[in-house]
Amino acid sequence: MAVNVGDMAPDFTLPAQNGESVSLSDFRGKKAVILYFYPKDDTPGCTAESCAFRDRYETFTDAGAEVIGISGDSVSSHRQFASKHNLPFTLLSDSGDRVRKLYDVPATLWILPGRVTYVIDKDGVIRHIFNSQLDFQGHVNESMKILETL
């Protein structure tokens, strides 16, 4: 079942690059969440997207939001990726793609895991969904534009 704008964001718990478990519900009532699904650590497009979120991270936190990236990569891979590119936000390991399936993130050409960003308000409601495999900067720009209206 697909999630849509206006739906409550499905809760989940996944391990972060530091080994700690993070739940979406940890942020409910406290912060908006920019939840971005990406295909794979340290690939050109995913690096560009993650670094674009890194470069605007302070703007997101100043606006009351937390940025969280999710891919099927391991905790160890996320740790190396975050360290290599100085990523200040949480990366979650969704091995088995359980959360990707929960959010019904579509694959590109039925093969490549999709690149979709969800803007979730502090009450846990999905306010915007941006789906683009190639517009890496668009994920950041669209998220900030919507966040400014919350």
pLDDT tens for 109-119 read 667 788 899 99
User: Is 51 tagged catalytic?
Assistant: no
Give the global pTM: 0.93
Superfamily classification of domain 28-147: Glutaredoxin (3.40.30.10)
Q: 105 with 114: CB under 8 angstroms?
A: yes
The two three-digit tokens of residue 49, written as one number: 């997207």
Instruction: Name the DSSP letter for residue 26.
Output: G
Q: Which of 46, 75, 82, 92 is catalytic?
A: 46
Give the tens place of pLDDT for each residue, 15-24.
999 999 999 9
Residue 52 phi/psi, 5-degree rounding, is: -65, -40
